[in-house]
Structure 1
Amino acid sequence: MGLDQLQQIEVKNCALIEEIITKDKGKKTAIDKVFIPHLESVVLELLPNLANFYSGTNNLECPSLKSIAIANCSQMGMFVFADLKENDHSEHTPPLFSEKVAFPSLEEMVLLHMDNLQLIWQSQKLHVESFHKLKVLRIESCEKLLTIVPSNTQGNLTFRYLERFTVNDCGSLKSLFPVSTAVSLLQLEHLWISFCGLEKIVSEEEVDRAPTFLFPKLAYIRLVNLQELKCFYPQLHTIEWPMLRNLGVYKCKKIKVYGSEFPSSRARDGERQPALFLLEKVMPNLEWLGLDAHDFALTFLHCNLSEIFGKIKMLFLGNFDDESVASVFDFLQKLNCLEKLSFIDNSCKKLFPYEQGHIWKQGFRGDTFLQNLQTLQVHRCHCLTILMPSGMSFKNLKTLEATICDGLDKVLTFEAAKALINLTTLTIRDCKLVTEIIANEGDREEEIVFGHLNVLELYCLSNLTFFCSANYSFKFPCLEQVIVYQCPRFNIFSRGVLSTPLLKKVQLIKGDNDQEHFWKKDLNSTIQQIFRNMVLFNSKR
Structure 2
Amino acid sequence: MKPFSQGIVSTPKLHEVQVTEKNEDELRHWEGNLNSTIQKCYEEMIGFCDIEYLQLSDFPCLKEIWHGQALPVSFFNNLEELEVDDCTNMSSAIPANLLRCLNNLRCLEVRNCDSIEEVLHLEELNADKEHISPLFPKLSELRLIDLPKLKRFCNFTENIIEMLMLWSLTIENCPNMETFVSNSVVHVTTDNKKPQKLTLEENFLLADQVQPLFDEK
> Is TM > 0.5 for Structure 1 vs Structure 2?
yes
Establish whether residue 174 from structure 1 lines up as the match of residue 117 from structure 2. yes
Shift of 1:35: 5.0
The CA distance in 2 between the partners of 1:174 and 1:99, in whole Å, is 30
Cα pair 1:211 1:237 within 8 Å, conserved:
no
Shift of 1:38: 3.0
Establish whether residue 38 from structure 1 lines up as the match of residue 38 from structure 2. no
| CA offset digits 1:20-41 (Å, max 9, x no partner) | xx7867xxx9xxx95556379x
The CA distance in 1 between the partners of 2:50 and 2:10, in whole Å, is 25
| Larger relative contact order (CA 8 Å, sep ≥ 6) | 2
The CA distance in 1 between the partners of 2:64 and 2:10, in whole Å, is 24
Shift of 1:150: 2.4
Say which of 277, 282, 288 aligns to 2:202: 288
Partner of 1:148: 93
SS in 2 for 1:56: helix
Partner of 1:429: none
TM-score, normalized by length of structure 1?
0.28
- What value does the CA root-mean-square deviation take over the aligned residues? 4.2
Higher Rg: 1
Shift of 1:191: 0.9
The CA distance in 2 between the partners of 1:160 and 1:173, in whole Å, is 23
Say which of 141, 161, 183 aligns to 2:104: 161
- The number of equivalent residue pairs is 176
Partner of 2:128: none
Establish whether residue 224 from structure 1 lines up as the match of residue 172 from structure 2. yes
The CA distance in 2 between the partners of 1:112 and 1:143, in whole Å, is 10
The CA distance in 2 between the partners of 1:39 and 1:165, in whole Å, is 25
CA change 1:100–1:190 in 2 (3 A) is same
TM-score, normalized by length of structure 2?
0.62
| CA offset digits 1:392-433 (Å, max 9, x no partner) | xxxxxxxxxxxxxxxxxxxxxxxxxxxxxxxxxxxxxxxxxx
SS in 2 for 1:129: helix
Shift of 1:251: 3.2
Say which of 149, 155, 158 aligns to 1:203: 155
Shift of 1:129: 2.1
Q: Aligned ranges for residues 9-88 of structure 1 at < 5 Å?
A: 34=17, 36=19, 38=21, 55-58=34-37, 80-81=38-39
The CA distance in 2 between the partners of 1:107 and 1:149, in whole Å, is 16
Shift of 1:215: 1.5
| CA offset digits 1:103-159 (Å, max 9, x no partner) | 1222110011112111112233435521132100011111111212224x3x76342
CA change 1:199–1:99 in 2 (3 A) is farther
The CA distance in 2 between the partners of 1:226 and 1:109, in whole Å, is 23
SS in 2 for 1:111: strand
The CA distance in 1 between the partners of 2:138 and 2:153, in whole Å, is 18
CA change 1:36–1:115 in 2 (3 A) is closer
Say which of 145, 149, 156 aligns to 1:194: 145
Cα pair 1:227 1:251 within 8 Å, conserved:
yes
Q: Which runs of no fewer than 5 residues in structure 2 stay unpaired? A: 24-32, 126-130, 208-217
Cα pair 1:211 1:236 within 8 Å, conserved:
no
| CA offset digits 1:471-511 (Å, max 9, x no partner) | xxxxxxxxxxxxxxxxxxxxxxxxxxxxxxxxxxxxxxxxx
SS in 1 for 2:36: coil
Q: Aligned ranges for residues 449-464 of structure 1 at < 5 Å?
A: none
SS in 2 for 1:130: helix
SS in 1 for 2:74: coil
Higher strand share: 1
Say which of 176, 182, 185 aligns to 2:136: 185
SS in 2 for 1:202: coil
CA change 1:111–1:212 in 2 (3 A) is closer
Establish whether residue 120 from structure 1 lines up as the match of residue 120 from structure 2. no
The CA distance in 2 between the partners of 1:198 and 1:98, in whole Å, is 32
Shift of 1:55: 3.6
Cα pair 1:229 1:252 within 8 Å, conserved:
no
Cα pair 1:190 1:221 within 8 Å, conserved:
yes
Cα pair 1:223 1:249 within 8 Å, conserved:
no
The CA distance in 1 between the partners of 2:160 and 2:70, in whole Å, is 27
Partner of 2:74: 129
Cα pair 2:175 2:189 within 8 Å, conserved:
no
| CA offset digits 1:223-255 (Å, max 9, x no partner) | 0111221222223689xxxxxxxxx985379xx
Partner of 2:161: 213
Shift of 1:98: 6.4
Cα pair 2:121 2:154 within 8 Å, conserved:
yes
CA change 1:156–1:168 in 2 (3 A) is closer
The CA distance in 2 between the partners of 1:98 and 1:199, in whole Å, is 33
Cα pair 1:161 1:186 within 8 Å, conserved:
yes
Partner of 1:111: 56
